[in-house]
Amino acid sequence: MQNLRIPGPTPCPEEVLTAMGQQMINHRGPEMAAIMKEVAEKLKYFFQTKNDVLVLTGSGTGGLEAAAVNFLSPGETVLSVSIGVFGERFAKIASIFGAKIIALNFEHGKAADPALVKKALAEHPEIKAVLITHNETSTGITNDLKSLASVVKGAGKLLMVDAISSLSSIDLPVDEWGCDVVVSGSQKGWMVPPGLAFISVSPDAWKANAESKMPRFYWDLAKHKASIEKGQTPWTPCVSVIVALHKALAMMEKEGMQNIFKRHQKIADFTRKGVKELGLTLLAEEKYASNTVTAVLATEGLDPKKLLKVMREEYNTVLAGGQGPLEGKIFRIGHLGWVTENDIKVTLDNLKLALPKAGFRS
Ligand SMILES: *Cc1c(COP(=O)(O)O)cnc(C)c1O
């Protein structure tokens, strides 16, 4: 088996793949309703929320678009707090649908500074909502969302969070931190294939939804809410991935949420330590280093594109490259979802052999 070490899609356990291979069922029938109801309950548990959690058929980006079009109106001002490619994507979606974006962009590789968010909110009282990435997958940085959320909620703004690559793997108590809208995606930490996005919606967000004038049809969350109460979705969902998710959630429940967080912490620590022992440098300041993906600087002559090729062709290991301004400057190791310390040990052992073949002079 290939050692797939990218930050999504991530490998899936055999039980999940078997569940996914089952014969189709009626998406409006009683079997599906029973599955949907359990899935919705368990998602709420992992989102640590009493809010509605809706299941959308689409990738994570679809979830971000749903967030943008359901709670805002054209012409409304939105503060985009971005620390990388995915933060910029969220802002771009809101902007395309007519929101006025105030961009608070931080250097790729740094975390967002709550003090600067506070300042921006004070300077622009017209801001209605704030977009924040919890875990910026392109740079391997986890924002201090607790502090950022406290600033945003202190100012009484709607908080919309891209937690696509963190929720399920990194602690994000949605209700405790007051996050109004939170998006995740199936192929990241949830141990299932791509195809689903999850979105939680607070009572305040539903109020905004009632007034929101952005155009929407497929992503109309009021329709999703009415349907999920019957154990359905308004349109045909990707049934197979929902059945797979049902299995994965049972496995996650058995492992325990806190144990999952601890496993990701431990494996991330092991990854960072191993990378440094090879003479490499981390992009992130360790305080903000992500527990789901590690970004490594291409120093000492290392050609990261060559490294990815050597790792893939000679060592059966697939790593990720850099994106946006970091293309050609970093490589990334994914360690989320169905991952063990041994998967990373094998990756590091192979890296040690591959690095000199990709120009690295240790
Ligand atoms: C993967 C990811 C996305 C995009 O999700 P898709 O499923 O590829 O549409 C957005 N934001 C973050 C933080 C991600 O990790």
- Residue 172 three-state SS: coil
Residue 27 CA to residue 25 CA, distance in Å, equals 6
Listing DSSP states for 190-209 in one string gives: TSS-S-EEEEEE-HHHHHHH
Q: Please answer whether residues 129 and 158 qualify as being in contact, where contact means their C-beta atoms are separated by less than 8 angstroms.
A: yes
Q: Whose CA is nearest to atom 6 of ligand 1?
A: 60
- Report the CATH architecture of 257-358: Alpha-Beta Complex (3.90)
Token pair listed for 84: 């990388």
Is 59's C-beta closer than 6 angstroms to any atom of ligand 1? yes
Is 165's C-beta closer than 6 angstroms to any atom of ligand 1? yes
Is 131's C-beta closer than 6 angstroms to any atom of ligand 1? no
Strands 127-133 and 141-142, how do they pair?
unpaired
Identify residue 165 by its one-letter amino acid code.
S
Q: Please answer whether residues 83 and 133 qualify as being in contact, where contact means their C-beta atoms are separated by less than 8 angstroms.
A: yes
Is 8's C-beta closer than 6 angstroms to any atom of ligand 1? yes
Q: Hey, which of 137, 141, 142 would you mutate to test ligand 1's pocket, going by the most ligand atoms within 8 Å of its Cβ?
A: 137
User: What is the mean pLDDT of each successive set of 10 residues along the chain, which is 362 residues long?
Assistant: 96 98 98 98 98 98 98 98 98 98 97 98 98 98 98 98 98 98 98 98 98 98 97 98 98 98 98 98 97 97 98 98 97 98 98 98 86
pLDDT at 1: 86
Is 204's C-beta closer than 6 angstroms to any atom of ligand 1? no
Token pair listed for 164: 């696509």
Residue 204 CA to residue 307 CA, distance in Å, equals 48
The reply to whether 14-254 and 257-358 are identical in fold is no
Residue 198 CA to residue 40 CA, distance in Å, equals 9
Is 60's C-beta closer than 6 angstroms to any atom of ligand 1? yes
Helix, strand, coil percentages, rounded to 5, for the chain: 45, 20, 35
Q: How far is the CA of 202 from the centre of ligand 1 (A)?
A: 22
Q: How far is the CA of 67 from the centre of ligand 1 (A)?
A: 14
Q: How far is the CA of 235 from the centre of ligand 1 (A)?
A: 22
Residue 212 CA to residue 190 CA, distance in Å, equals 31
Q: Hey, which of 61, 80, 186, 219 would you mutate to test ligand 1's pocket, going by the most ligand atoms within 8 Å of its Cβ?
A: 61
89 marked as part of a ligand binding site: no
Q: Whose CA is nearest to atom 2 of ligand 1?
A: 164
Name the residue ranges covered by the structural domains of the chain.
14-254, 257-358
- Residue 290 three-state SS: coil
* CA-based end-to-end distance of the chain: 30
Q: How far is the CA of 61 from the centre of ligand 1 (A)?
A: 6
Q: How far is the CA of 262 from the centre of ligand 1 (A)?
A: 23
Task: Report residue 50 CA to chain centroid gap.
Answer: 20
Q: How far is the CA of 331 from the centre of ligand 1 (A)?
A: 17
Residue 7 CA to residue 320 CA, distance in Å, equals 8
pLDDT at 362: 78
Q: What is the DSSP letter of 24?
A: P
Residue 86 CA to residue 127 CA, distance in Å, equals 21
Q: What class is the 14-254 domain?
A: alpha beta
Is 82's C-beta closer than 6 angstroms to any atom of ligand 1? no
Count Cα neighbours of 54 within 13 Å in the Cβ-side half-sphere: 31
Atom in ligand 1 nearest the alpha carbon of residue 165: 15
- Strands annotated E in the chain: 3-4, 52-57, 77-82, 100-105, 127-133, 135-136, 141-142, 158-162, 181-185, 196-201, 281-282, 293-297, 317-318, 320-321, 330-334
The angle formed by the CA atoms of residues 148, 153 and 158, to the nearest 5 degrees, is 100
Is 323's C-beta closer than 6 angstroms to any atom of ligand 1? no
pLDDT at 286: 94
Is 162's C-beta closer than 6 angstroms to any atom of ligand 1? yes
